[in-house]
Amino acid sequence: MRVPNPSAEVAQWLQAAASIVALTGAGMSAESGIPTFRGGGNGLWSQFDPSALASADAFRADRALVWGWYLWRAALVRHAEPHDGHHALARIAARVPKFTLVTQNVDDLHERAGNEDVIHLHGSLFSPRCFACHRPCGEVTLPDDAITRPTLRLVPPRCRHCGGYIRPGVVWFGERLPVDAWCVAEKAARECGLLLAIGTSGIVHPAATLPLIAKAHAAKVVEINPVATELSGCADVTWRSTAAQALPALAEAVAS
């Protein structure tokens, strides 16, 4: 169903549901100035080939290029701020009995807006680990000019446990999701009464199956995205708006 301003109806579902899941994707951070991967014309992939940078093979082939690219992305996030939609989502979370925020984003904008216990299905730009022994190791130290240098080349530091190279703490193409994060997200999707899919293209699996799981268990599914996606067909409401516009309207409707 498509209605011009569904905030009142979605707010009613939100108030009626004992448990709510929000699944966010790159579009959630777009209005904070972090480019998405697809859609909107500024996708990161229009400038860089993901298969050349976001995989273990790419790291083996040219770790200085990959490490440098991730430092640039981390610098973008450090210079960005959560927008009105992030803050509104934190207010919504505080008002409902059980709220599970599942993100595919590797930034920390939800946390900085006040959401706690965010489930990061695809890891984080700020939790590096060892490529060899997989242990968490070290911190992300950004060169002063990282933000201006998307093609920065920098040899990654070494692991203090085994001497291996440090890699970004994100889930690369071809890698499995963190098991604990996935189990919590999948269970929450099964048990929720409402799932909000915000700023995700619905292409990357298994994250994109969460709305389908929720729907199969009789939850309402609401998509917030300016354009149609793979998930639109399963949504009870497709809210053609941006995260920074729709979520404050929803928070207001919930509060009134």
Site membership for ligand NAD, residue 229 (CB under 6 A): yes
For 60, list phi and psi in degrees, rounded to 5: -65, -40
Q: Closest Cα partner for 255 from 141, 132, 94, 143?
A: 94
User: Cβ closer to ligand NAD: 162 or 227?
Assistant: 227
Contact mark string toward ligand NAD, 193..222, x via CB under 6 A: ------xxx-xx------------------
**Cα distance between residue 66 and residue 56, in whole Å:** 10
Site membership for ligand NAD, residue 140 (CB under 6 A): no
**Cα distance between residue 185 and residue 23, in whole Å:** 9
Does the active-site annotation cover 110?
A: no
CB of 136 to Zn ion, least distance (A): 10
Contact between 92 and 248 (Cβ < 8 Å): no
Task: Return the one option of ligand NAD, Zn ion, none that residue 161 interacts with (CB less than 5 to 8 A, by type).
Answer: Zn ion
Site membership for ligand NAD, residue 36 (CB under 6 A): yes
Site membership for ligand NAD, residue 106 (CB under 6 A): yes
**Phi-psi region for residue 6, left (φ > 0), alpha (ψ -120 to 50) or beta?**
alpha
Contact between 170 and 69 (Cβ < 8 Å): no
DSSP string for 123-136 = B-TT--EETTT--B
Contact mark string toward Zn ion, 105..144, x via CB under 5 A: -------------------------x-xx-----------
User: Which one is catalytic: 83, 86, 110, 122?
Assistant: 122
CB of 247 to ligand NAD, least distance (A): 9
Q: Both tokens of residue 181?
A: 């994060």
Contact mark string toward ligand NAD, 116..135, x via CB under 6 A: ------x-------------
CB of 207 to ligand NAD, least distance (A): 7
Tell me the residue type at 74. Answer: A
Task: Return the one option of ligand NAD, Zn ion, none that residue 162 interacts with (CB less than 5 to 8 A, by type).
Answer: Zn ion
Site membership for ligand NAD, residue 69 (CB under 6 A): no
DSSP string for 171-227 = PPTTPPPPHHHHHHHHHHHHH-SEEEEES--S-STTTTHHHHHHHHTT-EEEEE-SS
**Cα distance between residue 137 and residue 115, in whole Å:** 25
Q: Closest Cα partner for 87 from 247, 212, 211, 235?
A: 247
User: Of 11, 17, 30, 166, which lies in the binding site for ligand NAD, with binding defined by CB under 6 A?
Assistant: 30
Active site members: 122
Binding stretches for Zn ion (CB under 5 A):
130, 132-133, 159, 161-162, 164
Binding stretches for ligand NAD (CB under 6 A):
25-27, 29-31, 34, 36-40, 44, 104-107, 122, 199-201, 203-204, 224-227, 229, 242-243
